[in-house]
Amino acid sequence: MAPPPFGILLTGLLLAAAVSLGSAFRASPLPATARRTSDLARCTLLAAEEGDDAEMGGVDEYRNPATALLSNFMQKDGDGATAVDPLADIDFDAPKVDKLPLETLATALDAELYEKEWFVTGNVNPIYFSDEFRFQDPDVKLTGIEEYARGVTKIFDQDASRAEIISSVVNATVPDTITVTWRLSGRVNIGPKGLPIKPYICYTDFTVDPDTGLIVFQEDRFAVPGWDILLSALFPFLIGKVTSDPAPEVEPRVVKMPRIRGAKNPGMLDGLLQQLGL
């Protein structure tokens, strides 16, 4: 199972353990939330010490050793013999979409992401992705759209997490690139009860092969610095005081799916029903 792509958040959690964040508040007793977080941090270090020889899963390279260590403390899957595969309905070998104009591809991705929120659900449509697809962030490199999908499915609490799409447009300054702006919120599956994610804005850059029209590379950027994500997750009472306020709610909008082979083509009423939340 691939560890999560969002290495900045994970790295921050291990750094908190390494420096024992609780010591920063020795002048006064820690609130209960912070005490539980410090316990989690200590457990993380213990798990890391015991898991140095753990398999790397679908990750090609851990660019930061902290991410490799923290991957040992993610919540475990259930019994492999009985666990239901959340991505069983996805055909990762489906034929690829024919080359589309970049603007049409951006519109299609916008509509599919708005519906499926696959940045957290993993419910990707593989027809848009090259077999050589690569993902990279400051901490992790991985290859393959299935590895990416399974990674985000595992890290994010599927009952709480959202990837609300604000826009998906052709990048005006970077060639062959589509940039998606979205709001991340919910919870990550780290520790026995998971950790909350303060809502913040993310930017995903899809690099498109100009010959095939398929996505070959994805890189995510964040509107808030890593230390803000870290402190907000570990010490929610600092949100709006030391760390930034949560990102504002995303207004509903009507999206239109172009008619292309291999993608869901909506009926006439789909946009209206979506706007009504039905």
- Beta-bridged to residue 177, according to DSSP, are 207
Report how far residue 69's alpha carbon sits from residue 52's, in angstroms, rounded to the nearest whole number: 7
Q: Report the 10 Å Cβ neighbour count for 25.
A: 14
> What pLDDT, on a 0 to 100 scale, did the predictor assign at position 230?
83
- Looking at residue 91, its pLDDT comes to 97
User: Each residue's pLDDT tens digit in the chain (278 positions)?
Assistant: 444 444 544 454 544 444 333 333 333 344 444 444 444 443 333 333 334 434 444 666 555 554 555 556 566 665 455 578 999 999 999 999 999 999 999 999 999 999 999 999 999 999 999 999 999 876 677 899 999 999 999 989 999 999 999 999 999 999 999 999 999 999 999 878 888 999 999 999 999 999 999 999 999 999 998 889 889 998 999 999 999 999 999 999 999 999 886 566 544 444 444 444 44
Residue 152 backbone dihedrals phi, psi, to 5 degrees: -70, -30
233 class by beta-carbon count within 10 Å (0-12 exposed, 13-18 middle, 19+ buried): buried
Q: Which long-range contacts (CB under 8 A, 24 or more apart) does 197-202 make?
A: 197/9, 197/161, 197/229, 197/232, 197/233, 198/229, 198/232, 198/233, 198/236, 198/239, 198/243, 198/246, 199/246, 199/247, 200/224, 200/228, 200/229, 200/244, 200/246, 200/247, 201/166, 201/247, 202/119, 202/163
Q: CA angle 242-228-240, nearest 5°?
A: 35
pLDDT of residue 140: 75
Amino acid at 42: R
**Per-residue confidence (pLDDT) for residue 247, from 0 to 100:** 98
Q: Alpha carbon 163 to chain centroid distance?
A: 8
| Whole-number pLDDT of residue 84 | 87
Nearest to 70 by CA among 59, 80, 86: 59
pTM metric for this prediction: 0.74
Distance (Å, whole) CA 50 – CA 3: 17
Q: Terminus-to-terminus CA distance in the chain, angstroms?
A: 34
Taking phi over 0 as left and psi of -120 to 50 as alpha, with beta for the rest, 83 belongs to beta
What is the rounded distance in angstroms from the CA atom of residue 207 to the CA atom of residue 160? 29
The reported pLDDT for the residue numbered 90 is 97
